[in-house]
Structure 1
Amino acid sequence: MTPRLSLRAVTRRFGAVAALDAVSLDVAPGEFLALLGGSGSGKSTLLRVVAGFEAPDSGTVALDGADLAGVPPHRRPVNMMFQSYALFPHLSVAANIGYGLRREGRPRGEIADRVAQAVAMLRLDGLESRRPDRLSGGQRQRVALARALVKRPRLLLLDEPLGALDANLRERTGFELRAIQRESGAAFVMVTHDQAEALALADRVAVMDRGRLLQVAPPRELYERPATRFVANFLGAANILPGTRTADGALDCPEAACTLRAAAPVPPGTLAAALRPERIRIAPATGDNTAAGTIEEAAFRGESSLLLVRLPGGALIRVSHAEEDGAPPPRGTAVRLAWDAEAVVPLAE
C-alpha cells in the first residue's frame, strides 16, 4: 500500500539550528499519527513543511506517491487546523465552514450540501448563524475542524488542536476528534506536547527531540518498550537505572544496589534500564529484580499513591502503590521492592 504521506530525509535549518534533521516518516491512509515532543523538538516545523508553509533544505515530501516539491499550500490536497482556530470573527458558523469552498469557486448548491454534511458530522446543528464570539471553546474547535474537513482533504494537519480547551473539555473533545477522524476516513497528523493526549488518540505516536525522530510506534508499545532514555522519561517518567552489562546478560546497577535481569539477556551496549512505577511492588523478596529501600515521600493520587523510595546506592525511584493493596507504608518505613523480568526495559542510550 502506498503511504498517504511519505517523508524521506527531510532537513530544515534555521541558521545553525537543524529544526528537522533527516526525518523519514510514513503515514498510512486513514491513520491517526501524533507528533509528540517538547518545545523546540521540531514537530510544528514538520507540520509546516508538509503543509507547504516551509520548504525543506533537503529531502522529499510526497503525498500518495506524488512529490510535493514546489507545490504551494493552496494547491496541496492537505488542510491545516491551527491552534488558534483562526476563525473569521465577522462570519457566521456556516460561512466560516464554507469559506474554502467559496474560494475554490464551487457551485452554491454544492457548498450548501457540503456545509450541511459538515455541520451534521460535527454536531453543530442550530449554530449555523452564530458568530465565533457567541460559541464556547469546544464549539469553536468543532467549527475549525468542520472548515478543515469540508474540503475533503486526503490529509489533515492539526497543530495542538485541544490546547485552548480546559481539562474536562479536552478529554471529551479528544474522543470526539477520534470518532470524527474514523468517520471522515482522512489521515490525521496531530502535533501535541501532551503525552496522555497522544497515547489516548493516536494509532501511532512519533516522539521527536531536537529535530530528530527518536521512535515511532503504537501507543502501548511506545509506553511499555521505549527505545531510548529520552523516550522512557518523556512518556510517563519511568525510573532510569544506569548499569553495566554482566557476562550473563544482566545489568549490574550500583545506584540501586541490585541486579536487573530482563526477560531476555540485555544486548551489548546497554547502558541503563527503564522501570515503570506501576510495575514495581512492595514484596518481601530477595535476589535479582529486588531492592531494599526507605520511603521518603508519599502522595495520594486517587486510585493509587506515588511513593518515592531511596535505595542504598543513592537512587530515588518512583513506585505506584494501588489503593486496592491497602494504605501505603508511612514515610521512613524500610521496604523491599520487587518487579518481574518483563518490566525491565534495556536502553542503549
Structure 2
Amino acid sequence: MTPPRLSLRGVTRRFDSVAALDGVTLDVAPGEFLALLGGSGSGKSTLLRVVAGFERPDSGTVMLDGADLLGVPPHRRPVNMMFQSYALFPHMTVAANIAYGLKREGRPRAEIASRVAEAVSMLRLEGLESRRPHALSGGQRQRVALARALVKRPRLLLLDEPLGALDANLRERTGFELRAIQRESGAAFVMVTHDQAEALALADRVAVMDRGRLVQVAPPREVYDRPATRFVAEFLGAANVITGTRTADGALESPGAACTLRPAAPLPLGVEAVALRPERVRIGPAIGENTAAGRVEDAAFRGESTLLLVRLAGGATLRVLHAEEDGAPPPPGAELRVSWDAASVVPLRA
C-alpha cells in the first residue's frame, strides 16, 4: 500500500471557545485530488491554512511524506497554496509572476527560464507572457496563479475556492482544465469548496466537513449515493430525509410519509431516518411498501427535468425529480402515488 503524501492525526484548532477543527484525522495519497466540502464555518479553510503553515494547531500532527511539518515555516514547506483572489502582482508581467517564487529561492537564471516556459506550456499561456494581470480574463488569471504555484513543483498544492471568482460557464470549462492539469503535474491537490457540483466533478475523494469535523470521506459517487449522516444527505444534493421508527424486521415506519420504507438490508439498530434522492422516486400506480400517496404542491422547471414538491398523506414533503423524457409532469394539485426501489433507501446516522 502506498504511504500517504499528507497525513493529519487529531488536528484541533480553537479560537477562544470555538473549535474550528475538532480532532481531524485524514490521509491524502500521492497524486490524489481531494475536495474539502462544507458550508461557511465548517473548518475547511482553517484546515487548509494549518497544512500551509499559516495556522498552528493546538494539538495533533501534520506529516508530509513522513516528515513533520509543524516546525517548518510556510515558505520552507514543499507545499504551495493558491488563494481565491489569485493574489497576482499587478505590476509584474505573466512571466514575472510565474517566476517570482523561483527567484526568491535563488534559482539559476537558465533554470528559471526553462521552468517558466514549461509552466506556460502546461497552462496554455503562450503569447501572454508579457501581459500584466489587468489585461487578462478571469480564466487566464486563474491559470497564471496555477502556473506560479506549480512552477515550484510542490508535492502538495492547496487551492482555496479556486473557481469561486469565475462565472458559471467559465467555472465548468476551467474546472475540466484544472483536473487535466492536476493529472499532468502529478501533484496531490487539496481543494476547498462550498460548491457540491464542483467537488463531485473534480475530486477523487470528497471530505465533507461540519462544525470542525470530518463527517464522511469517500469517492464522489459513494458520498452522493450513500450519505452517512443527515447533514451529508441534505447538504450534498438535497436528498429527502424521512424520519420514523425502526420496525423489528429493520424497516422504517414513517408517520410523516404515511408509509413503510424498506431498505435492501435491514436498518441498523438505532437508525431513525433514511435518505431518498429525488431522482430515485417514480410517479405511477403502486401499492405496498416503498410507495406513498400524495398531492403535488408546487413545481419548478429545470430544463431537462421538473422538480415537484409532493405533500404526502402524513404531512411530509417529498422532492421528486420528473424527467422531461417521461412526458408532461403532473400539475400542482394533482393526486398521485410515488414509489422507489429498496436499494434507494439509505440509512442515516444522526
TM-score (norm 1): 1.00
**CA-to-aligned-CA distance 1:125-147 (integer Å, 9 cap, x gap):** 00000000000000000000000
Q: CA deviation at 1:10?
A: 0.1
User: 1:191 — aligned with what?
Assistant: 192
Q: CA deviation at 1:298?
A: 1.1
Q: Is 1:276 aligned to residue 263 of structure 2? A: no
Q: Is 1:67 aligned to residue 48 of structure 2? A: no
Partner Cα distance (1:162, 1:109) in 2:
33
Q: CA deviation at 1:348?
A: 2.0
Partner Cα distance (2:84, 2:8) in 1:
23
**CA-to-aligned-CA distance 1:48-75 (integer Å, 9 cap, x gap):** 0000000000000000011112100011
Q: Is 1:212 aligned to residue 213 of structure 2? A: yes
Q: Is 1:314 aligned to residue 315 of structure 2? A: yes
Q: Is 1:115 aligned to residue 136 of structure 2? A: no
Counterpart amino acid of residue 192 in structure 1: T
User: 1:130 — aligned with what?
Assistant: 131
Partner Cα distance (2:114, 2:69) in 1:
30
User: 1:7 — aligned with what?
Assistant: 8
Partner Cα distance (2:45, 2:38) in 1:
10
User: 1:248 — aligned with what?
Assistant: 249
3-state SS, counterpart of residue 232 of structure 1: helix
Counterpart amino acid of residue 51 in structure 1: A
Partner Cα distance (2:279, 2:341) in 1:
11
3-state SS, counterpart of residue 106 of structure 2: coil
Q: Is 1:37 aligned to residue 38 of structure 2? A: yes
Partner Cα distance (2:11, 2:173) in 1:
35
Partner Cα distance (1:236, 1:76) in 2:
36
**CA-to-aligned-CA distance 1:166-201 (integer Å, 9 cap, x gap):** 000000000000000000000000000000000000
Partner Cα distance (2:203, 2:97) in 1:
27
Partner Cα distance (1:79, 1:304) in 2:
41
Q: Is 1:303 aligned to residue 322 of structure 2? A: no
Partner Cα distance (2:128, 2:302) in 1:
40
Partner Cα distance (1:194, 1:69) in 2:
30
Q: CA deviation at 1:259?
A: 0.3
Partner Cα distance (2:286, 2:168) in 1:
41
Q: Which runs of 5+ in 1 are unaligned?
A: none
User: 2:333 — aligned with what?
Assistant: 332
Counterpart amino acid of residue 325 in structure 1: D
Q: Where do 1:49-88 residues align within 5 Å?
A: 49-88=50-89
Runs of 4+ in structure 1 off by over 4 angstroms are none
| Alignment coverage as a number of residue pairs | 349
Partner Cα distance (2:331, 2:62) in 1:
56
Q: CA deviation at 1:330?
A: 1.1
3-state SS, counterpart of residue 295 of structure 1: strand
User: 1:28 — aligned with what?
Assistant: 29
**CA-to-aligned-CA distance 1:281-316 (integer Å, 9 cap, x gap):** 102000000000000111111111100000111101
User: 2:182 — aligned with what?
Assistant: 181
3-state SS, counterpart of residue 100 of structure 1: helix
Q: CA deviation at 1:94?
A: 0.1
Counterpart amino acid of residue 18 in structure 2: V
Partner Cα distance (2:45, 2:261) in 1:
38
Partner Cα distance (1:265, 1:104) in 2:
60
Partner Cα distance (1:288, 1:348) in 2:
22
TM-score (norm 2): 0.99
Partner Cα distance (1:196, 1:69) in 2:
33
3-state SS, counterpart of residue 241 of structure 1: strand
Counterpart amino acid of residue 249 in structure 1: G
Q: Which runs of 5+ in 2 are unaligned?
A: none
3-state SS, counterpart of residue 214 of structure 1: strand
Counterpart amino acid of residue 66 in structure 1: A
3-state SS, counterpart of residue 315 of structure 2: coil
Counterpart amino acid of residue 264 in structure 2: A
User: 1:140 — aligned with what?
Assistant: 141
Counterpart amino acid of residue 255 in structure 2: P
